[in-house]
Structure 1
Amino acid sequence: MTDNQKKLIKATIPILQSSGEILTDYFYKRMFQHHPELKSVFNMGNQANGKQKHALAGAVLAYAEHIDNPSVLINVLKGIGNKHVSLNIQAQDYDIVGRHLIASIQEVLGDVATAELVEAWTAAYNELAEIMINIEAEFYLKNTEKTGAWNGWRNFTIKEIVTESEEIKSFYLYPTDGKEIANYTAGQYLSIQVFVEQLGLLQPRQYSLSSAFHPNYYRISVKKETALATQPDGLVSNTLHQMKEGDTVNVSAPAGNFSLQDNDAPIVLISGGVGVTPLLSMLETNQKTNKNKTIWIHGFRNASVHAFKEVVATIEEESDWLESYVFNEDLEENSSNGIIKGRVDLEKCKEAILLENAHYYLCGPAPFIKAHYESLVGFNIDKSNIFYEEFGPQSVSLN
């Protein structure tokens, strides 16, 4: 890109700040009108609730703000690239997205979108697309080199379903072809693709692997998302919860850059609700490998949704390296059993978690992550030692 083109991109930052979601909403509608087949690639639940257009608007704005040095966004781009590979996004798909994004800029901005500005955004998009294609090509190559890995979708059979709480079920997925499966790093996820009858579409979702690696199967643990005033039932989670043992799903190879670091650092695992799933994988993996000093911190609404209680308690009973702090929002005053009343409050276990060179892992809703990230920073924890995973389109950018 030329210096003048970069200036033109930066000049659109105020427009993106004020009207970015109008642009991205228009873009998605335009693209799906011309390419309805892409509805099976995108999460239509996040299209309906607005999370996807919000996330894309934030990404476009961030790219414009860092147009002089987009390399500062590399960790974010790698996270997006991981998800794209798990969805089998290919280089040619960027041509479709680019065509409709540039057309949307022209149509939404009207007279503001001069030929010179459109040319600048075309150059900017092509540069970003090249970065993403190269990142994803590297991930695809690694999959071809890794024992048991694959690219694209592969059929798996649900051989066991276990109810973990009133909301969460675990699904044990075995490769239908009986061949090897790929190892993964604790904290990573699978993309699952199922047919959603209400939409008449195949739909993908990402679910964290919830156990240490087992060579015969993958385990995911899925919360059944029920309707609230601001959102409908979770289409894929409800479909999965209605499935039976023996049913099959499409699965992509393990992906994701939220992962347990392989070293001897103490570990602090902080989760809320179903955010427990990748951290449970980390806990079980640590139990099998390094047995690093670990602090387990988990919060839940009430006892009926406290998943994996017995699993964690058993590990703690058998270990001298694990210490847990569990928070129950609806705990009765006369109950205790070591459970703390209220939401997760790191001040209440501050002394326990301030371990030298510890690594801190956060998983839960965006407000949960932001609040506890700020608490850790307030405790003078080095930001480079804090790792987090937000489920759904990324809206949190803290490091």
Structure 2
Amino acid sequence: MSRALAPSTLSIIQATSPWLKEHAEEVTRCFYKRMFDANPEVRPMFNPSHQATGRQQRALAGAILAYAAHIAELSVLGDAVELIAYKHASLGVQEEHYPIVGEHLLAAIDEVLGESSSQEILDAWGQAYNLLAGILIEREGSIYEEHEVRHGWRGFREFRVTRRVEESANITSFHLRPVEGDGLAAHLPGQYITLKAPAHVTGGQTTMRNYSLSQAPGAPFYRISVKRERLPAKPDGVVSNWLHDHIGDDHILEVGPPCGEFVLDAASEASGPLVFLSGGVGITPVLSMLHAVATHAKHREVHFIHATHNGNTHAFGDEVNRLAASHGRVKTHIFYEEPTDEDRELGRFDTEGRVDRAFLETHLRDVSGEFYLCGPRGFMATVREALLDLGADETRLHLEAFGPLESL
């Protein structure tokens, strides 16, 4: 398949991009409505909460605009393509799904353009879509093959809950072992697995969710650590509440193999410092990284910085301290935004407030290393901006955003 568009097609894409920028979310709202009405079989691949809040529509709009902006130089989009391909593979997206998306995306562009639409415009955007679809289909196919070679399966497999641990007031861990088959191949630190929730959970259809693996790579079980989502004026986290309220020992869950590009190469011979910055449940993937570092990278200077609300919501504190002590070169720093009197009396945290530029400038003498960020969008945006301002190399900033990919 050709990896370039004709000059005439590029001209049309570039000429219509300003219009698309103005109407992008209108197009994506129209797209999702048309697709879900005509092809309800694809609904399980999408989080209804993200649809209801508009995050999915904004994320798709941003992705389309980024594609249009860089369509003459697709190599710029390599990292984004990798992220999307892994996300698609985790949800079981197949080649036959792409024509469905293409049909409804072009129909949405046509509908929103109205009288300004033309067959020439639709053909150009159709060619652009097919080019990107081909790139993603090829990459996703290789990921499925990697799953079979590394983990021995693709799709979903039954796992049994063997242990449930209340890690904090709002985070619960579930230990999972395969119902049949041998042990588990080690995941890469930072990866996630996919759970398929049965139809009764959402009232009519199966749905899928990604959850980071929080245990050491190579353990004989998977551990996911799930935050109960209760957001004012927004849909509750349907699947997270189902797990918290109904899932315990001996329950059987359908699980997809480890996936994701937010990973740490703990065996790297690089000597620069490693800096992990997490907020709330964003601790889960970087905790797996810390496990890997404690075993395979004792030569590295490590900073583990975590922010949470207070002692009630602080998960894995003892585990982090044990790993830090076993490594010997890990410096931890805990932020509580609103500590209780008991938190202060017991000295459970280091700093009251939020992670900011002043703290990073004071505590990170060397910004030449690798940074791994995971947490709420506001947290990551603030930390990323501060690090760049302090001279960190943007290519060494690695971010994991839970939910749809939106620009920071």
Same fold, judged at TM 0.5 (above): yes
C-alpha separation in 2, matches of 1:201 and 1:288: 42
* Cross-structure match for 1:20: 24
- Distance (whole Å) between structure 1 residues aligned to residue 127 and residue 94 of structure 2: 20
Look up the SS of the partner of 1:197 in the other structure: helix
CA distance in 1, matches of 2:16, 2:194: 35
The residue number in structure 2 matching 1:225 is: 229
Aligned to 1:270: 277
Contact residue 182 and residue 254 of structure 1 kept, 8 A: no
- Equivalence for 1:95: 99
SS of corresponding position for 1:303? coil
Contact 1:268 1:359 in 2 (8 A): yes
Q: Which residue of 1 aligns with 2:152?
A: 149
> With structure 1 as the length reference, what TM-score do the two structures score?
0.95
CA contact (8 A) 1:86 1:255 kept: yes
In structure 2, do the counterparts of structure 1 residues 325 and 346 end up closer, same or farther at CA, with 3 Å as the change threshold? farther
2 CA distance for matches of 1:234 and 1:228?
11
* TM-aligned CA deviation for residue 106 of structure 1: 1.4
Provide the residue aligned with 2:45 in structure 1.
Answer: 41
Q: What letter matches 1:236 in structure 2?
A: V
SS in 1 for 2:258: coil
| Residue 299 (structure 1) aligns with | 307
CA distance in 2, matches of 1:23, 1:349: 40
Using the TM superposition, name which of 361-370 and 178-187 deviates more. 178-187
Contact 2:201 2:239 in 1 (8 A): no
In structure 2, do the counterparts of structure 1 residues 98 and 307 end up closer, same or farther at CA, with 3 Å as the change threshold?
A: same
1:66 and 1:340, CA in 2 relative to 1: closer, same or farther beyond 3 A?
A: same
**Cα deviations across residues 56-86 of structure 1 (Å, max 9, x unaligned)?**
1111111111111122111101100001111
- Counterpart of 1:323 in structure 2: which amino acid? K
Say if 2:49 and 2:236, in contact at 8 Å, map to a contact too. Answer: no
Is the CA contact 1:40–1:203 (under 8 Å) kept in the aligned structure 2? yes
Tell me the residue number matched to 2:241.
238
- Give the aligned partner of residue 193 of structure 1: 196
Summarize the alignment of residues 77-96 of structure 1 with structure 2, pairs less than 5 Å apart: 77-96=81-100
The equivalent residue for 1:53 is 57
**Whole-angstrom distance in 2 between the partners of 1:113 and 1:359:** 47
Matched, 1:321 2:329: yes
Name the structure 1 match of 2:351: 340
Q: Kindly state the Cα deviation for residue 130 of structure 1 after the two structures are TM-superposed.
A: 0.5
Is the 1:157–1:174 Cα contact (8 Å) retained in structure 2?
yes
* Aligned counterparts of 1:180 and 1:313: Cα–Cα separation in 2: 28
Return the alpha-carbon distance in structure 2 between the equivalents of residues 349 and 124 of structure 1: 42
Q: What TM-score, normalized by structure 2, do the two folds share?
A: 0.93
Quote how far apart the aligned CAs of 1:371 are.
Answer: 0.8
What does residue range 247-258 of structure 1 map to in structure 2 within 5 Å?
Answer: 247-258=251-262
Gaps spanning 5+ residues in structure 1: where?
none
Equivalent position SS for 2:203: coil
SS of alignment partner, residue 83 of structure 2: helix
| Partners of 2:294 and 2:324 within 8 A in 1 | no
- Residue deviations 1:69-104 (CA, integer Å, cap 9, x gap): 122111101100001111111111101111111112
Q: Which position in structure 2 is the counterpart of 1:395? A: 406
Quick check: 1:178 aligned with 2:185? no
> 1:297 Cα deviation (Å)?
0.5
Structure 2 unmatched ranges of 5 or more:
none
Distance 1:228 1:100 in 2: 32
- The amino acid that maps onto 1:50 is G
State the Cα deviation string for residues 363-384 of structure 1 (Å, max 9, x = none).
Answer: 1112211110111111111112
Query: Alpha-carbon deviation of 1:29?
Result: 0.9
Q: Which amino acid aligns with 2:378?
A: P
* Partner SS, residue 296 of structure 1: strand
More divergent stretch after superposition (87-96 vs 33-42): 33-42
Matched-pair contact (CA < 8 Å) for 1:295–1:352 = no
1:359 is aligned to 370
Q: Equivalent residue for 2:381?
A: 370
Q: Percent identity?
A: 38
Q: How far apart are 1:34 and its partner, in Å?
A: 1.0
Number of equivalences? 395
Q: Rate the CA distance shift 1:317–1:60 in 2: closer, same or farther, 3 A.
A: same
Structure 1 CA distance for aligned equivalents of residues 15 and 325 of structure 2: 60
In terms of mean alpha carbon deviation, does 160-169 or 39-48 score higher?
39-48
Q: Note if 1:311 corresponds to 2:319.
A: yes
1:76 counterpart residue number: 80
C-alpha separation between the residues in 2 aligned to 1:352 and 1:95?
Answer: 51
Tell me the C-alpha RMSD between the 2 structures.
Answer: 1.7
Q: Please tell me the residue identity of whatever aligns with 2:386.
A: S
**CA–CA distance in 1 between the matches of 2:348 and 2:400?**
29
Contact 2:356 2:386 in 1 (8 A): no
